[in-house]
Structure 1
Amino acid sequence: MIDYSHIPEEPGSYLFSDDGGSVIYVGKAKNLRKRVQSYFQKRDLDPKTAVLVGSIASVDFIATRDETEALILENTLIKQHQPKYNIDLKDAKSYAFIHLSEDRFPRIGIARKTGVKGTYFGPFVSGRERDHLLAAVKKIFGLRSCRRLPKRACLRYHIGTCPAPCIGAITEGAYAERVAQAVEVLKGRVKGLIARLEEEMKERSDACDFEGAIRLRETITALDHLSGRRMMRPKRSHEGDLINYRVSGEEVFLLLFHQRNGTLVDKEEFRFPQSPDFLSEFLVQYYSDHEVPEEVIIPATVDGAISGYLARLRGKSVSVTVPKQGQKRDLLEIAAKNVDLTWFAGEERIHALRNALKLPKSPTIIECFDISHLAGTATVGSMVRFTNGRPDKRHYRRYSIKTVVGIDDPAAIREIVSRRYRRLIDEDRDLPDLIVVDGGKAQLAAAYAALRKLDLTIPIAALAKREEEIYLPNIPYPIPVPSDNPASLLLQEIRDEAHRFAITYNRLKRKKKVIP
């Protein structure tokens, strides 16, 4: 079962991945949690969606400021990952532009590529809004849309929406003035144009040219309506990396985004011990193994030598920027928001788990064990660790079972629990705050006995798959925690990850046995 309780109720894009880690679907949502939740609560799914849901092993997300940014990000992520279930959006290569040609009497139209000479405006997030703007500009300014100038006036001339440059009904200069006004609108400079047209309208009214003043008033009214609509994706040629972090206790939780055309993509997560110059050290180590962009945006100043170091790696200049305001500062705030949502959204679930199990302290570090085999053969074990409610894959471990023959899951659990904590004791390493085993009372008893033999008093629980029942040592009945409680959902997510990790290792072991 996929746990979506840690997903925020924020706009953004979500990514579904299969058990191999490949992204199989990307979507966008006004409310990420509700959208993801809907996939697993509907019972009457269409066949394609049912297959998709059955293939989902994990969910990731990137939060945005609004739904429009989420749509842009969705398109970017689909192009990047090429997920198998995003057929429609993957086929639509990009958002369309409005194109103004370089002809003597420029024509206006829609273009998906920018290879033809002319001026491009966009791209547009909404096709409906793009078409509305195009139709409005053509109607207000009377720009032609025909690919070739005809030899006689067409219907648009007779209904008053084209000045018919094809028959010389308008001069080149007068048409160029209309084009200049249309460009102002397409660039978003509507208010300035309206102010100039209002002055011209007053002048015509004072000169008793009431017919001309009325036409200008109608144009101003149409432009005023357009000025309130947000349609165009801001065009940014800038590309670079953006980094933000949060220091909690003695650790740094850091996210790095690759920025493409003003959109944050490729969220990479890092967690490491705090040091006095951790940001400088991170930049040096990361970019020694990765491509250096033209700009790195960070929230705090670093050693001035960093810019020179990155420039040497890149072979050309690199800007290391600490923005105080503007668009780049806004992007930093989005990244900071994602840091909190990625690393610290699990605090509520951890608190709920502590209360449900009546633990002496918050289970910041949880380790979970599972066993996998095929009819008693190729038996393996897995151990996954979650820190602050998030997978901590650096500490994942897998085990080949050495002392158990045939099907005996409790005995296999006893073996790997003993091996794990005997090693941690011998190496004087930190122990977890909570141990979880996949199974029921038998598996719990075996793991508990292994801990007692090591003189360890770590809290331990078992989670049985069928009814998602939680068992504790020396209590014959499951504790009364509903399966949709945040505490139970967190345990289910951890158990499912241990199960996935165990199955992956079991398959690998059987594959190696088959291949000579």
Structure 2
Amino acid sequence: MPEIPLDIKLSTLPDSPGVYQFYDTDGKILYVGKAKNLKKRVSSYFHKTHEYGKTRVMVKKIDSLKHIVVKTESDALLLENNLIKKYQPRYNVLLKDDKSYPWICIKNERFPRIFPTRKLIKDGSEYYGPYTSMKTVKVLLELIKSVYPLRTCNYDLSPEKINAGKYKLCLEYHLGNCKGPCEGLQNSEEYHKQIDDIRQIIKGNFKSSLHYFKTQMKSHAKEMQFEEAQRIKDKIEVLENYQVKST
């Protein structure tokens, strides 16, 4: 079956969100991009003068294109990101702009910190995203912070330094936002159980966290520790409310 000419493909592009891919005469992928309106965005490459020489060179090499229609611009962003990772198109590197999207990082360290970032560093840390806005990331991290006490300091919490008494408890501990692993008041096993539950929350799975807190709440109520049971009940309500919104 003969290849459809490029000009016909351009004229039949939809006015929909999606992802487009440019190919050269050898069928090698040149560039992957996303668009709120595929017809307008892709046509702009061929109907205007480009400021950057690299863009002009790329356009001259385009022999064919493919497109994928998605429901929303956010879907286009995520698909574009995955395709760039998969194919590593040459001009996505050469024409890379300063715009980067936010991620949630679980730092590769003994007591992992969790924070938003726009930079992906290959040091073994985990990155979740990309997200379409920093606001979404902050809302999710505020939820996590309200439920799980995590450290925010950047100390090297190695067993040797903790045992040597290198660090002192900070205000975050006294405010109840951290359990003091810097002075050995929280072990790494307990901390990593929290991290496992947080991973699931970020992925949209609240089952493990809700089960854990409900078990704790019942245990405290049975021991007539009603204040602690109420505190955990509040956390359950925060998680359940966010789960409904997330769904």
> With structure 2 as the length reference, what TM-score do the two structures score?
0.62
1:124, 1:130 within 8 Å by CA — same for their partners in 2? no
Written as runs of structure 1 = structure 2, the 5 A alignment for 1:17-96 is 25-37=31-43, 47-48=51-52, 55=59, 60-63=65-68, 65-66=70-71, 67-75=73-81, 76-77=83-84, 80-83=88-91, 86-88=95-97
Alpha-carbon distance, 1:159 to partner: 3.5
Q: Matches of 1:185 and 1:70 in 2, distance apart?
A: 23
Unmatched 5+ stretches in structure 2: 1-5, 158-165
- Establish whether residue 5 from structure 1 lines up as the match of residue 5 from structure 2: no
Q: Matches of 2:193 and 2:20 in 1, distance apart?
A: 46
3-state SS of 1:146 partner: coil
Question: Percent identity among equivalent residues?
Answer: 27
> What amino acid is aligned across from residue 120 of structure 2 in structure 1?
R
Q: State which of 208, 218, 233 in structure 2 corresponds to 1:217.
A: 233
Alpha-carbon distance, 1:174 to partner: 5.0
Alpha-carbon distance, 1:54 to partner: 10
Identify if the C-alpha distance between structure 1 residues 215 and 14 changes in structure 2 by more than 3 Å, giving closer, same or farther.
same
Written as runs of structure 1 = structure 2, the 5 A alignment for 1:295-314 is none
Q: Deviations over 1:203-232 (max 9, x none)?
A: 5446543332332233223323543548xx
Q: Matches of 1:131 and 1:139 in 2, distance apart?
A: 12
Q: Which residue of 2 aligns with 1:107?
A: 112
> What amino acid is aligned across from residue 153 of structure 2 in structure 1?
C
3-state SS of 1:212 partner: helix
Written as runs of structure 1 = structure 2, the 5 A alignment for 1:407-446 is none
Identify if the C-alpha distance between structure 1 residues 178 and 25 changes in structure 2 by more than 3 Å, giving closer, same or farther.
closer
Q: Matches of 2:171 and 2:7 in 1, distance apart?
A: 59
Q: Which protein is richer in helix relative to its size?
A: 2
Q: Matches of 1:123 and 1:176 in 2, distance apart?
A: 17
Written as runs of structure 1 = structure 2, the 5 A alignment for 1:505-516 is none
Q: Deviations over 1:253-288 (max 9, x none)?
A: xxxxxxxxxxxxxxxxxxxxxxxxxxxxxxxxxxxx
Q: Deviations over 1:360-415 (max 9, x none)?
A: xxxxxxxxxxxxxxxxxxxxxxxxxxxxxxxxxxxxxxxxxxxxxxxxxxxxxxxx
Alpha-carbon distance, 1:33 to partner: 2.7
> What amino acid is aligned across from residue 130 of structure 2 in structure 1?
V
* Structure having greater relative contact order (Cα 8 Å, sep ≥ 6): 2
Q: Which residue of 2 aligns with 1:124?
A: 129
- Establish whether residue 159 from structure 1 lines up as the match of residue 175 from structure 2: yes
Alpha-carbon distance, 1:141 to partner: 0.9
Q: Deviations over 1:425-455 (max 9, x none)?
A: xxxxxxxxxxxxxxxxxxxxxxxxxxxxxxx
Aligned length: 220
Q: Which residue of 2 aligns with 1:254?
A: none
Q: Deviations over 1:478-504 (max 9, x none)?
A: xxxxxxxxxxxxxxxxxxxxxxxxxxx
> With structure 1 as the length reference, what TM-score do the two structures score?
0.34
2:45, 2:59 within 8 Å by CA — same for their partners in 1? no
Written as runs of structure 1 = structure 2, the 5 A alignment for 1:248-327 is none
Q: Which residue of 1 aligns with 2:144?
A: 137
Q: State which of 190, 194, 198 in structure 1 corresponds to 2:206.
A: 190
| CA RMSD across the alignment | 4.5
Written as runs of structure 1 = structure 2, the 5 A alignment for 1:259-408 is none
Q: Which residue of 1 aligns with 2:21?
A: 15
1:95, 1:112 within 8 Å by CA — same for their partners in 2? no
1:7, 1:33 within 8 Å by CA — same for their partners in 2? yes
3-state SS of 1:28 partner: strand
Q: Matches of 1:81 and 1:193 in 2, distance apart?
A: 40
Q: State which of 127, 146, 151 in structure 1 corresponds to 2:153.
A: 146
Q: Matches of 1:216 and 1:80 in 2, distance apart?
A: 46
Identify if the C-alpha distance between structure 1 residues 123 and 171 changes in structure 2 by more than 3 Å, giving closer, same or farther.
closer
Unmatched 5+ stretches in structure 1: 231-516
Q: Which protein is richer in strand relative to its size?
A: 1
2:197, 2:208 within 8 Å by CA — same for their partners in 1? no
Alpha-carbon distance, 1:196 to partner: 4.0
1:14, 1:59 within 8 Å by CA — same for their partners in 2? no
Q: Matches of 2:241 and 2:52 in 1, distance apart?
A: 42
3-state SS of 2:235 partner: helix
